[in-house]
Amino acid sequence: MEEKVWFAMSAPFCKELEAKKLLDKRGIENFIPMQYQVVVSKSGKKQRELRPAVHNLLFARATRPELQETKEGVKYLQYYTRPEGGKNVPVVIPDRQMQQFMAVSKTCHEKLFYLRSDELPLQKGRQVRIIGGVFDGVEGVLMKVRGGRNKKVVVEIPNTLGVVFEVENADMIEVINK
Protein backbone atom coordinates (compact mmCIF):
# COMPACT_ATOMS: atom_id res chain seq x y z
CA MET A 1 0.00 0.00 0.00
CA GLU A 2 1.31 3.43 -0.92
CA GLU A 3 2.09 5.99 1.75
CA LYS A 4 0.30 9.35 1.79
CA VAL A 5 2.54 12.26 0.82
CA TRP A 6 2.08 15.98 0.24
CA PHE A 7 1.72 16.98 -3.42
CA ALA A 8 1.93 20.56 -4.68
CA MET A 9 -1.11 21.09 -6.89
CA SER A 10 -2.10 23.71 -9.42
CA ALA A 11 -5.67 24.97 -9.82
CA PRO A 12 -5.51 27.39 -12.78
CA PHE A 13 -7.87 30.34 -13.20
CA CYS A 14 -8.02 30.99 -9.43
CA LYS A 15 -9.94 27.76 -8.77
CA GLU A 16 -7.93 26.79 -5.68
CA LEU A 17 -10.92 27.20 -3.33
CA GLU A 18 -13.10 25.11 -5.64
CA ALA A 19 -10.38 22.43 -5.68
CA LYS A 20 -10.23 22.58 -1.87
CA LYS A 21 -13.99 21.86 -1.68
CA LEU A 22 -13.52 18.86 -3.97
CA LEU A 23 -10.64 17.50 -1.87
CA ASP A 24 -12.57 18.12 1.38
CA LYS A 25 -15.56 16.24 -0.06
CA ARG A 26 -13.29 13.30 -0.90
CA GLY A 27 -11.74 13.35 2.61
CA ILE A 28 -8.28 14.34 1.32
CA GLU A 29 -6.22 16.50 3.67
CA ASN A 30 -5.26 19.74 1.95
CA PHE A 31 -3.83 23.18 2.62
CA ILE A 32 -4.05 26.58 0.96
CA PRO A 33 -1.86 29.40 2.35
CA MET A 34 -4.27 32.21 3.20
CA GLN A 35 -3.69 35.87 3.94
CA TYR A 36 -5.79 38.85 4.99
CA GLN A 37 -6.18 41.39 2.22
CA VAL A 38 -7.89 44.75 2.22
CA VAL A 39 -10.70 44.88 -0.34
CA VAL A 40 -13.08 47.67 -1.25
CA SER A 41 -16.78 46.75 -1.31
CA LYS A 42 -19.26 48.07 -3.90
CA SER A 43 -20.34 50.70 -1.36
CA GLY A 44 -16.73 51.93 -1.09
CA LYS A 45 -16.04 50.48 2.38
CA LYS A 46 -12.65 48.92 3.02
CA GLN A 47 -12.69 45.57 4.76
CA ARG A 48 -10.25 42.75 5.47
CA GLU A 49 -10.93 39.40 3.84
CA LEU A 50 -9.10 36.11 4.17
CA ARG A 51 -8.05 35.08 0.65
CA PRO A 52 -5.54 32.68 -0.92
CA ALA A 53 -2.06 34.18 -0.56
CA VAL A 54 -0.88 32.58 -3.82
CA HIS A 55 -3.42 32.03 -6.57
CA ASN A 56 -3.64 28.68 -8.34
CA LEU A 57 -1.65 26.79 -5.67
CA LEU A 58 -2.71 24.28 -3.05
CA PHE A 59 -1.27 21.23 -1.35
CA ALA A 60 -2.89 17.81 -0.98
CA ARG A 61 -1.83 14.88 1.21
CA ALA A 62 -2.81 11.58 -0.40
CA THR A 63 -1.48 8.56 -2.22
CA ARG A 64 -0.81 9.09 -5.91
CA PRO A 65 -3.62 6.69 -7.02
CA GLU A 66 -6.08 8.38 -4.63
CA LEU A 67 -5.22 11.80 -6.00
CA GLN A 68 -5.20 10.56 -9.60
CA GLU A 69 -8.73 9.17 -9.16
CA THR A 70 -9.89 12.43 -7.56
CA LYS A 71 -8.55 14.64 -10.32
CA GLU A 72 -9.94 12.51 -13.18
CA GLY A 73 -12.43 14.57 -15.13
CA VAL A 74 -11.55 17.73 -13.17
CA LYS A 75 -9.64 19.96 -15.57
CA TYR A 76 -8.82 22.61 -12.98
CA LEU A 77 -6.83 20.30 -10.65
CA GLN A 78 -3.33 19.47 -11.87
CA TYR A 79 -0.02 18.35 -10.42
CA TYR A 80 2.62 21.03 -9.92
CA THR A 81 5.62 19.49 -11.68
CA ARG A 82 9.39 19.81 -12.00
CA PRO A 83 11.67 18.46 -14.73
CA GLU A 84 13.54 15.23 -13.93
CA GLY A 85 15.26 12.95 -16.41
CA GLY A 86 13.55 14.53 -19.40
CA LYS A 87 10.09 14.16 -17.85
CA ASN A 88 7.87 16.35 -15.71
CA VAL A 89 7.28 14.68 -12.34
CA PRO A 90 4.88 15.80 -9.58
CA VAL A 91 6.43 17.87 -6.79
CA VAL A 92 6.29 15.90 -3.52
CA ILE A 93 6.98 17.74 -0.27
CA PRO A 94 8.40 15.87 2.75
CA ASP A 95 6.08 15.92 5.80
CA ARG A 96 8.54 17.83 8.00
CA GLN A 97 9.00 20.56 5.40
CA MET A 98 5.25 20.87 4.90
CA GLN A 99 4.70 21.09 8.68
CA GLN A 100 7.22 23.94 8.89
CA PHE A 101 5.61 25.75 5.97
CA MET A 102 2.10 25.33 7.39
CA ALA A 103 3.22 26.45 10.87
CA VAL A 104 4.19 29.81 9.41
CA SER A 105 1.44 30.12 6.80
CA LYS A 106 -1.45 29.21 9.12
CA THR A 107 -0.85 32.35 11.15
CA CYS A 108 -2.18 34.43 8.20
CA HIS A 109 0.14 37.14 9.58
CA GLU A 110 -0.03 40.37 7.59
CA LYS A 111 3.75 40.70 7.31
CA LEU A 112 4.17 37.34 5.55
CA PHE A 113 4.97 37.42 1.90
CA TYR A 114 5.32 34.59 -0.57
CA LEU A 115 7.93 34.18 -3.29
CA ARG A 116 8.30 31.54 -5.99
CA SER A 117 11.43 29.41 -5.58
CA ASP A 118 13.16 31.15 -8.48
CA GLU A 119 12.68 34.50 -6.68
CA LEU A 120 14.38 33.42 -3.43
CA PRO A 121 17.90 34.79 -2.81
CA LEU A 122 19.06 31.85 -0.67
CA GLN A 123 22.60 31.20 -1.89
CA LYS A 124 24.28 32.65 1.22
CA GLY A 125 21.63 31.82 3.85
CA ARG A 126 22.21 30.07 7.17
CA GLN A 127 19.89 27.42 8.57
CA VAL A 128 18.15 28.82 11.66
CA ARG A 129 15.46 27.90 14.19
CA ILE A 130 13.11 30.41 15.82
CA ILE A 131 12.93 30.30 19.62
CA GLY A 132 9.78 31.71 21.22
CA GLY A 133 6.96 33.80 19.83
CA VAL A 134 4.36 32.87 17.24
CA PHE A 135 6.88 30.98 15.08
CA ASP A 136 8.52 29.00 17.92
CA GLY A 137 10.31 25.90 16.59
CA VAL A 138 10.05 26.85 12.91
CA GLU A 139 13.21 26.20 10.91
CA GLY A 140 14.23 28.11 7.83
CA VAL A 141 16.99 30.09 6.15
CA LEU A 142 18.11 33.48 7.46
CA MET A 143 18.08 36.21 4.86
CA LYS A 144 19.29 39.79 5.09
CA VAL A 145 17.50 42.44 3.10
CA ARG A 146 19.38 45.62 2.17
CA GLY A 147 18.13 48.64 4.04
CA GLY A 148 16.02 46.50 6.37
CA ARG A 149 16.58 46.58 10.10
CA ASN A 150 14.93 43.29 10.88
CA LYS A 151 16.08 39.84 9.84
CA LYS A 152 13.92 37.81 7.48
CA VAL A 153 13.54 34.05 7.64
CA VAL A 154 12.42 31.97 4.66
CA VAL A 155 10.66 28.62 4.96
CA GLU A 156 10.92 27.10 1.50
CA ILE A 157 9.31 24.23 -0.32
CA PRO A 158 11.94 23.54 -3.02
CA ASN A 159 10.82 24.01 -6.63
CA THR A 160 7.53 25.52 -5.44
CA LEU A 161 7.26 28.40 -3.00
CA GLY A 162 8.76 30.10 0.02
CA VAL A 163 7.11 32.08 2.79
CA VAL A 164 9.07 34.97 4.28
CA PHE A 165 8.55 36.48 7.72
CA GLU A 166 10.32 39.06 9.88
CA VAL A 167 12.07 38.29 13.13
CA GLU A 168 12.28 41.53 15.07
CA ASN A 169 14.39 40.27 17.96
CA ALA A 170 17.74 38.66 17.07
CA ASP A 171 17.66 36.74 20.39
CA MET A 172 14.88 34.61 18.91
CA ILE A 173 17.19 33.21 16.20
CA GLU A 174 19.30 30.10 16.82
CA VAL A 175 21.77 28.95 14.15
CA ILE A 176 21.44 25.26 13.27
CA ASN A 177 24.69 23.45 12.51
CA LYS A 178 23.82 20.89 9.85
Q: How many CB atoms lie under 10 A from the CB of residue 136?
A: 11
SS3 label, residue 40: strand
Q: How many CB atoms lie under 10 A from the CB of residue 50?
A: 10
Does position 19 have pLDDT exceeding 60, yes or no? yes
- Residue 42 CA to residue 126 CA, distance in Å, equals 47
pLDDT score of 27:
95
pLDDT band with cut points at 50, 70 and 90 for residue 164: confident
- pLDDT per residue as tens digits for the range 20-46: 999 999 999 999 999 888 888 889 899
pLDDT score of 113:
74
Q: How many CB atoms lie under 10 A from the CB of residue 1?
A: 5
Contact (Cβ atoms closer than 8 angstroms) between residue 34 and residue 15:
no
- Residue 152 CA to residue 25 CA, distance in Å, equals 37
Compute the average pLDDT of residues 149-163.
Answer: 74
pLDDT band with cut points at 50, 70 and 90 for residue 121: low
pTM of the model: 0.74
